[in-house]
Structure 1
Amino acid sequence: MSLASEQSSVPMDDRGLAYGDGLFETVLVRDGTPLLWDEHMARLARGCQVLGIPLPARDALDCLPERAGPGLRVLKLILTRGSGGRGYLPPASSSPRLRWQAMAFSPQPSRWRDGVRVRHCRLRLGIQPLLAGLKHLNRLENVLARNEWSAPDLAEGLLCNSDGWLVEATCMNLFWLREGQLETPRLDDSGVAGTLRAALLERLPVSEVMATPDVLAGAEAVWLANSIQGVWPVAQLDDAGGTRLANWTIGRAHRHLQAAAHDLLDYPVDFPE
């Protein structure tokens, strides 16, 4: 196992660089303590199992958050299969490379409090059940989707798969409240199973459903969530052309899911109306 910090270079024949043959995790760290660490490690382990990459020793991973530095930080881990193989054929015995980087982070409290404007994306995610849920390095679909808008007041874009089912936002998971029931898209065929999503599914009665985009217009509340940003209530939803489809007044209905998530991340949970 090759372990190095952000200063270490990656050789041209690294399979992660050449083919996206690897995995990554982005972890919120507060004064050396990682949030949702077990969920991140579980997802990394599942990704290693699916891709056939040896999982790093847990003690080699557990020591990294305390090296991230003081204050609120984002620790990024990148694990590639390493070098070797012939073309797409992986080597018979992999020597993975683990790289890490820690960066200072400041969340955006106004988005927690006031909510965000989001839009639907034109891009459709491909269907590949074997890779669904993993945070693998090949994220070109997300890059192309995020390139669809540049307006600073648009916070995120929502993605469907090629069959038309809602999946996620470009870098966040999606939740909504419909007829009093919390729901989130199933991720059997596409998308990333976020660690905050996993923790919320364990703690709250959230149903995983297959739904088309029109479900959102009739929802009582809509949220975006991930383990770095926390939970953003959605105040306005636009179509891919910029036409408003729905809007919500951010209030008590939005705070239950947000409070449960922010308690896990040690973020504020009280936003007076």
Structure 2
Amino acid sequence: MNETIAWINDRWGQPTELSLPLSDRGLQLGDGVFETVLVRNGQPQLLQAHHQRWCDGATVLGMAPPPTLEVLRPLIAEAVQRSCSDGALRLNWSRDGAGARGIQVPLDEPDPSEHRFWFSLGPHTPTFNTESTWISRHERRNANSRLSHCKTFAYGQAIQARQEAILAGADEGLLLSTTGELCCGSTANLLVLRQGQWLTPPLSSGCLPGVMRQQLLELGIAREQHIDPTPQPGDKWLLINSLDCRVVSEVNHQALSTAVEAKELWAELLTTDH
């Protein structure tokens, strides 16, 4: 098989066949966290790092911990058998709400039985193409918000930034921080090669703590540095996440060098799992 498969409540099926209750807070309020994991040759890549960020995000939101790795691994293995050995796995964890109206979260200890887990696995081929970018004039990542460090269901800002970029004649949107520095792309971390050193915006900018970004830092390939919106001469920019690594060809119509081995760098980060 080579089609997307999904699982929820011990049921397997196509994503269009399965459903969530309309009362689910993830559906109504974006109250939940997710992870997108690359699967290569049937093996989820950097699963432990993704799982840790998933758990950290749930903690920030005051949710119960998501399913453990011991629960996930056999389900993922079965999904690979049912779907594909090379693809994108999305893990979802939402707060159920049990039909309650309003935004208030219960103040007692979060109960895992009042949360909902589901996932999907579908074919995906990593891309390493070049993309023109546009710095959003309307959307900024909040450097002071704890939510900026969680991969939540709420992606409205990223959608708006990308739409703005497309209307400006570019492929992808870049976001400034509320501090005025560059922060990230709509769905990826920013990586800048400057004078032989890879740089990435610090978490204090409000960027998402990407798994591949963390790999770059832990392996000593990159270091954190504030990035100004205007590229410097000789800069080479990448947008990197767990599924792809795209070369930035221009920023607000200013051309950049694209002579960088994006695929090789990205693949190197998959060789070490923690």
Cα pair distance change 1:125/1:152, threshold 3 Å: closer
How much identity, in percent, do the aligned residues show? 28
CA contact (8 A) 2:134 2:172 kept: yes
Give matches, 1:1-273, under 5 Å. Answer: 5=12, 6=15, 7-55=17-65, 56-66=67-77, 67-68=79-80, 69-84=83-98, 85-91=100-106, 92=108, 93-94=110-111, 95-109=114-128, 111=129, 115-127=130-142, 128-150=144-166, 154-214=170-230, 216-229=231-244, 231-237=245-251, 239=252, 244-248=253-257, 250-251=258-259, 254-255=260-261, 258-265=263-270
Task: Give the corresponding residue for 2:3.
Answer: none
Please tell me the residue identity of whatever aligns with 2:34: F
Please report the TM-score for the alignment, with normalisation by the length of structure 1.
0.82
Of 125-134 and 164-173, deviating more is: 125-134
Please tell me the residue identity of whatever aligns with 1:124: E
User: What's the offset of the Cα at 1:3?
Assistant: 5.9
For residues 169-194 of structure 1, give each alpha carbon's deviation from its aligned partner in whole angstroms, at most 9, with x where no partner exists: 01111011223322101122523221
Q: Which runs of 5+ in 1 are unaligned?
A: 267-273
Give the Cα separation in 1 of the matches to 2:63 and 2:9: 13
CA contact (8 A) 1:116 1:155 kept: yes
Please report the TM-score for the alignment, with normalisation by the length of structure 2.
0.82
Q: Which runs of 5+ in 2 are unaligned?
A: 1-7
SS where residue 218 of structure 1 aligns? coil
For residues 110-150 of structure 1, give each alpha carbon's deviation from its aligned partner in whole angstroms, at most 9, with x where no partner exists: x1xxx332222223324243223210111111111111143
Cα pair distance change 1:185/1:28, threshold 3 Å: same
Please tell me the residue identity of whatever aligns with 2:254: L
Give the Cα separation in 1 of the matches to 2:23 and 2:49: 31
For residues 48-71 of structure 1, give each alpha carbon's deviation from its aligned partner in whole angstroms, at most 9, with x where no partner exists: 111121112332222233213333
Cα pair distance change 1:3/1:90, threshold 3 Å: farther
